[in-house]
């Protein structure tokens, strides 16, 4: 049972919900590796997988946003948020040498939790409401 997932994260858009859950499952694996002292594995094995999935998910979400073609400002803003998130993760990875594994894993973990939960509960919920309101996607 997922600890991070809660109903405020459910958007009603099947593709988004499914991918958000998959993303959260990866974050939870990252967490449990850290909690069992396997920070090296979390950073070397899990983080690359998580980054791949994040990229896959962001492109899928951006593709959905194209259906709201008239709303370019929102699209660009949302894409910029995705980009900033990814850049920050990569930056933190490069700081791993200075910080050490434990510190790096903890900082990345906190950032993943805070950003994703806030982003899904705020920005993605707003996007989902628009998509559903304009019948651009089918709800659950």
Question: How big is the site for Fe ion, counted in residues (CB under 5 A)?
Answer: 2
| Under 8 Å between Cβ of 9 and 20 | yes
CB of 93 vs Fe ion, minimal distance in Å = 21
Note whether 31 binds Fe ion by CB under 5 A. Answer: no
The runs of H, that is alpha helices, within the chain are 14-35, 39-41, 47-65, 72-94, 96-99, 101-119, 125-133
**Coil vs helix vs strand at 69:** coil
Question: Least distance to Fe ion from the beta carbon of 1, Å?
Answer: 24
Nearer to Fe ion among residue 50 and residue 105 (C-beta): 50
Orientation of helix 47-65 relative to helix 14-35, angle to 10°: 160
Tell the smallest beta-carbon distance from residue 16 to Fe ion (Å): 8
Query: CA quadruple 93, 119, 28, 63: dihedral positive or negative?
Result: negative
Contact positions with Fe ion (CB under 5 A) in 50-109: 61
Indicate the residue among 44 and 76 with the shorter CB distance to Fe ion: 76
CB of 78 to Fe ion, least distance (A): 6
CB nearer to Fe ion: give 17 or 124.
124
The packing angle between helices 47-65 and 72-94, to 10°, is 170
Which residue, judged by CB position, is nearest to Fe ion in the bound state?
A: 124
Q: List the interface residues with Fe ion, window 100-129 (CB under 5 A).
A: 124
Please report how close the Cβ of residue 22 comes to Fe ion at its closest, in angstroms: 14
Whether the CB-CB separation of 67 and 13 falls below 8 Å is answered with no
Give contact residues for Fe ion (rule: CB under 5 A). 61, 124
């Amino acid at each position: 049972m997922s600890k991070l997932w809660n109903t405020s994260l459910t958007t009603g858009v099947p593709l988004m919900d499914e991918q958000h859950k998959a993303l959260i499952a990866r974050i939870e694996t990252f967490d449990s590796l850290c909690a069992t002292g396997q920070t090296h594995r979390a950073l070397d094995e899990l983080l690359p997988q998580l980054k791949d999935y994040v990229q896959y998910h962001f492109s899928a979400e951006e593709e959905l946003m194209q259906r709201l073609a008239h709303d370019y400002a929102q699209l660009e803003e949302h894409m910029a948020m995705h980009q900033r998130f990814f850049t920050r993760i990569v930056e933190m990875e490069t700081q791993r040498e200075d910080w050490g594994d434990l510190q790096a894993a903890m900082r990345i973990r906190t950032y993943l939790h805070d950003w994703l939960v806030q982003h899904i509960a705020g920005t993605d919920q707003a996007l989902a409401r628009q998509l559903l309101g304009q019948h651009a996607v089918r709800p659950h």
